[in-house]
Amino acid sequence: MNKHSELYDIVIIGGGINGAGIAADAAGRGLKVALCDKGDLGGETSSASTKLIHGGLRYLETYEFRLVRKALKESELLLALAPHLIQPISINIPHTAYHRPWLLIRLGLFLYNHLARRPGYRNAKAVRFHQDSPLADEFSHGFNFWDGQVDDARLVILNAVQAARDSADILVRNECVGIKPADTFWEVTLEDRLHGEELTLKTRTIVNATGPWVSQLIEKTVNKKPRNEVRLVKGSHIIIPRIQPEDQAFLLQNEDGRIVFVIPYQQNYSLIGTTEEEFAGDPSSAEISIRETDYLIDVVNGYFHTPIKKEDVVYSYSGVRPLVGEEEQSATRASRDYRLEFENTPLPLLSIYGGKVTTYRILAEQAVDMLGKYIAGIEDSKTSRVRLPGGDIESREQQVEVLIGRHPWLEPGIIRRWVAAYGSLCSRVLQGSASVDDLGMDFGHGLFQREVDYLVESEWAITAEDILWRRTKLGLVFSESQKRVLDKYLGNP
């Protein structure tokens, strides 16, 4: 067994949004940090969201005013910290007489406008839908509000990049297979899933940020009963060719009380979701069921003028969320808030139960604050005033104009995709390039060798899937043969 000689302040197990956010916060305070994950960064639940940074309008129905206020404030802050990844999006709510009453929705939107100041987003209002609306003729009026649309996986990855800039060690494809106390520190044993080697890290504290595996990790590695039992709930989405205007999203109410979003996605598509089903089994194996697909299609067809069908689905994905709440509550009504709990262990081990993409930053700040009593000289958090890597731009539109002016030989569509993914880091990808030929091999659809090399060297990409689904969304358009060529270039069988 290979022993790592350094003593870490924090070893974080789980490279989703909470783990990466905690790594960025802790490393930014000058702590010695390691982040490990058995797979890729954001490879599970954190890349399977509805891609929204939002206050949680529907959480007002369950009186979670504190959570909504917290999320609204964070949505405004994140818009300033990551203007390349997050953009305001207009969301319409068609009104129906047989769902939530008009006055109830107006009250909810009034609270949404006033629970927290959000100058980066427009206020909610009542609206009328015109003849060019994709909605069926019976939906003539409703409401409009604004939230943020985000590339969830890239939000995870850029938090890890931020942590690495502050000297954190990022260990992907390293599974935690053992945790044991050794005098005044923990020994965390990792197994490299690519090479089969073992590595043992010494650390003062541990953060269990494994999402749906949070309870399982405690039971298996330290043989303790976890502080909280979580309920696993599967949410699934489908992607179809775009059925609405590019700048408009829709929130559709269903008779069972659930809601379904229809969101413009990657220029040419509509993202539809989510479902909510109790889940048992390995979260890594979660996939959409026929029943879920039918459910989403039926909800959309109840509102839109032109019906959709199963054959329209070009891609689907599912993620499993850990919810903390009463067993008798429906999954829809269970809280989306989080709990941070020290486990009953001889040394500090902090578990993250629940959480949302929107509140990851404040969760991370609170987690590191809690660990501060075990780590001498901890500094205050900086994440509320430090932009994420690539976020030092005025706006996407302004950055696109600058790059088109500097690189007129590069297709504008590629520049727009790069700006939305990398922001000011585009200069790293383009450094020294004077023509398309300088970008190297074209793997298809504007994915050049220069970008692939950057993702391998700077963002821990290993496989074609890492690149096509989490660091870009080009998996929607790549053929199987193109994927094989990319994997071969990356050295994968």
We report the CATH number of the domain holding residue 19 as 3.50.50.60
The answer to whether position 98 is within a domain reads no
Per the listing, tokens 């690189």 go with: 407
Judge if 205 and 342 occupy the same domain. Answer: yes
Judge if 238 and 225 occupy the same domain. Answer: no
Determine the pLDDT at residue 1.
40
The answer to whether position 415 is within a domain reads yes
Judge if 218 and 242 occupy the same domain. Answer: no
Judge if 260 and 317 occupy the same domain. Answer: yes
Closest of 485, 410, 411 to residue 444, by C-alpha: 485
Cis-peptide, bond into residue 383, ω within 30° of zero = no
Closest of 420, 371, 372, 421 to residue 397, by C-alpha: 420
Judge if 236 and 226 occupy the same domain. Answer: no
Tell me the C-alpha distance between 270 and 259, whole Å. Answer: 16
Closest of 3, 11, 2 to residue 374, by C-alpha: 11
Residue 183 phi/psi, 5° resolution? 65, -110
Judge if 220 and 240 occupy the same domain. Answer: no
Partnered with residue 317 across adjacent β-strands are 237
Tell me the C-alpha distance between 211 and 253, whole Å. Answer: 28
CB 144 within 8 A of CB 127: yes
Judge if 345 and 220 occupy the same domain. Answer: yes
Tell me the C-alpha distance between 55 and 358, whole Å. Answer: 8
Judge if 349 and 224 occupy the same domain. Answer: yes
Tell me the C-alpha distance between 252 and 259, whole Å. Answer: 5
**For residue 446, how many other CB atoms are within 10 A of its CB?**
18
Stretch (H or E) spanning 316? strand 315-323
Determine the pLDDT at residue 4.
59
The answer to whether position 92 is within a domain reads no
The answer to whether position 402 is within a domain reads yes
Judge if 222 and 248 occupy the same domain. Answer: no
The answer to whether position 226 is within a domain reads yes
The answer to whether position 96 is within a domain reads no
CATH assignment at residue 473: 1.10.8.870
Determine the pLDDT at residue 337.
81
Judge if 238 and 188 occupy the same domain. Answer: no
Tell me the C-alpha distance between 186 and 180, whole Å. Answer: 6
Task: Copy the structure tokens of residue 394.
Answer: 């005025």
The answer to whether position 53 is within a domain reads no
Per the listing, tokens 């990657």 go with: 266
Task: Copy the structure tokens of residue 414.
Answer: 């590629």
Domain end residue (candidates: 261, 294, 322): 322
Tell me the C-alpha distance between 146 and 48, whole Å. Answer: 21
Residue 441: domain span: 396-489
Judge if 207 and 245 occupy the same domain. Answer: no
Round the CA-based radius of gyration of the chain to a whole number and report it. Answer: 23
Task: Copy the structure tokens of residue 420.
Answer: 């939305």
CATH assignment at residue 290: 3.30.9.10
Q: For 416-426, how does the pLDDT look when each residue is reduced to its tens digit (9 = 90+)?
A: 999 999 999 99
Q: Could you tell me the mean pLDDT of each successive run of 10 residues in the chain, 493 residues long?
A: 75 98 98 98 97 90 90 96 98 89 91 93 94 92 96 98 98 97 96 94 98 95 90 97 93 93 96 95 96 98 96 98 70 71 96 95 98 94 97 96 97 97 97 96 98 98 98 98 98 89
Judge if 290 and 210 occupy the same domain. Answer: no
**Number of domains the chain is built from:** 3
Determine the pLDDT at residue 229.
85
Determine the pLDDT at residue 470.
98
Determine the pLDDT at residue 63.
85
The answer to whether position 365 is within a domain reads yes
